[in-house]
Amino acid sequence: MRNKIVIIDYGVGNVHSVAHALKFLGYRNVVSREPEVIAQSDAFVLPGVGAYSEAAVNLERYNLVEVLNREVVEREKPLLGICLGMQILGNCSQESPGYRGLGWIDFDVVEIPAGQDLKVPHVGWNTVTAREEHFLLRNLEEEPHFYFDHSYYAHAKKAAVAAYCDYGSQLPAIVTSGNVVGVQFHPEKSQNNGLKLFRNFFNYFGVKPC
């Protein structure tokens, strides 16, 4: 049986929480890093918790860069990156000089500037504000709350940013480029809003529950 969604297991992701959320929504999914499994899927989730350098190294170590480039870039299958999995969609990170991201969306990852009343990392619930109407936030309130946990953010051009959160300044919360979407927050930890976001993503790209 074809797996509709593969949650990419590259050693740095909160894979089982994502799998549980998708199963709750009725989506057939599997956690895997096997190229043949990835090639037989309709869509991907790239979670991520931890260090940028480890994410970059593991994508290479498990031979995932080639298969993901083929399936996501060439065959245009949809991919949702979460937190570190969103950051690795860009070019590079201030956190780990010398390590390269996938380069699918044009941005560099930089550290959140700490202020007198601003704690880093940014942990907890925060509102997300869309630049303009976006399918990922469909059927949610105007400024929905999502759960964040990060010290770095995507310093992206306006055209790539679909939504922001306010944490000392406007930090990109959602970045997009065609079939590739990244969210800085954790939908799998964001209760009903996170479930709606997952559903919006897969519905938009024609991936239906079982």
What structural domains does the chain harbor? 5-204 (3.40.50.880)
Contact 178, 76 (CB under 8 A): yes
Helices 15-24 and 191-204: crossing angle, nearest 10°?
A: 80
Q: State how far the Cα of 155 lies from the Cα of 161, in Å rounded to an integer.
A: 9
Report, as residue numbers or ranges, the catalytic residues: 83, 186, 188
Q: State how far the Cα of 85 lies from the Cα of 62, in Å rounded to an integer.
A: 15
Strand bridging mode 145-150 / 122-127: antiparallel
Please choose, from the candidates 65, 64, 73, 58, the residue with its C-alpha nearest in 3D space to the C-alpha of residue 105.
73
Can you say whether the dihedral through the CA atoms of 96, 98, 103, 107 is positive or negative? positive
Q: State how far the Cα of 95 lies from the Cα of 60, in Å rounded to an integer.
A: 18
Q: Count the neighbouring beta carbons within 10 Å of the beta carbon of residue 210.
A: 10
- What residue type is assigned to position 127 of the chain? T
From first to last of its 210 residues, the chain has per-residue pLDDT tens of: 556 999 999 999 889 999 999 999 999 999 999 999 999 999 999 998 999 999 999 999 999 999 999 999 999 999 999 999 999 999 999 999 999 999 999 999 999 998 768 899 999 999 999 999 999 999 999 999 999 999 999 999 999 999 999 999 999 999 999 999 999 999 999 999 999 999 999 999 999 998
